[in-house]
Amino acid sequence: MISLKTEDEIELLRESNLLVGKTLGELAKWIKPGITTKSLDKIAEEFIRDHGAVPTFKGFPNQYGTPFPTSICTSINEQVVHGIPNNLLLKEGDIVSVDCGTYINGFCGDSAYTFCVGEVRDEVRNLLKTTKEALYIGIQSAVIGKRIGDIGHAIQQYCESKLYGVVREFVGHGIGKEMHEEPQVPNYGKCGEGVLLKNGLCIAIEPMITQGARQVVMERDGWAVRTKDGSNAAHFEHSIAIKAGKADILSSFKFIEEVLGDNAI
């Protein structure tokens, strides 16, 4: 069942999502060659708890009921999503997708950003740029009267026109009191198909885009998902509300971009 949110509920969702944005902004200060993703996880968890919130990812069960062990997902290079932070050092030229979720005042926040570690090759930067642009193209399609399929179609068409792969196995979702609510929000689709977009619908839109083929495989830890062909992948995510007929972005990359300045994607 799809729950449409009241304006008051949307403001609570905004609060949780802004905290995710601030957490990602805090991490942006630290993402450099030589830091471990485990350190990033510690920084994120402390930041979230210091703000009176709970990291929603920690303990979140996968399909086998295994709880996710950390507060953020860190997916490096060919990893697409759900990478578990570890003790390996990030190195110059890597990319790391950081996905973060918070829970405060009864509502969830969810947003993700792919960061460059030091200088990365232009072709990799272009993948990130296209994925981020695709997110905003999807958001622009999220207007009243259109359908979920219109969002996915816009993202798919843009990314495939640049010969990138669009991951099918993982999708965006409704967001509210639960991190994952209905409806599913695929990054592919047909115009005019799927759930009708109405005021009060709150969804996370999250293109996962690959430099090569779109096929993915799960790693042996039962969480991390990587490209089958080993090509790089990027992931950008905003949570939005449909309000007054169009998308109101509840999460924010402003805090990241303030830190990265001219180096932002």
User: Interface residues with Mg ion (CB under 5 A)?
Assistant: 99, 110, 112, 204, 237
| Ordered strands of the 225-227 beta sheet | 79-81, 225-227, 216-218
The phi and psi torsions of 260 (rounded to 5 degrees) equal: -80, -25
Distance in Å, CB of 139 to Mg ion, minimum: 14
Q: Which residues share a beta bridge with 205?
A: 238
For residue 183, is the peptide bond before it cis, meaning its omega torsion is within 30 degrees of 0?
Answer: yes
Distance in Å, CB of 253 to Mg ion, minimum: 13
The smaller minimum CB distance to Mg ion, of residues 26 and 110, is found at: 110
Crossing angle between the packed helical segments 148-161 and 122-141, to the nearest 10 degrees: 160
**CA neighbor of 22 nearest in space, from 204, 177, 238, 253:** 253
The smaller minimum CB distance to Mg ion, of residues 91 and 141, is found at: 141
Distance in Å, CB of 99 to Mg ion, minimum: 4
Distance in Å, CB of 121 to Mg ion, minimum: 26
The smaller minimum CB distance to Mg ion, of residues 41 and 99, is found at: 99
Distance in Å, CB of 199 to Mg ion, minimum: 21
The smaller minimum CB distance to Mg ion, of residues 24 and 117, is found at: 24
**CA neighbor of 117 nearest in space, from 34, 211, 225:** 34
Q: Which residue has the tokens 């062909």?
A: 229
Rg value, the chain, Cα? 17
The smaller minimum CB distance to Mg ion, of residues 33 and 59, is found at: 59
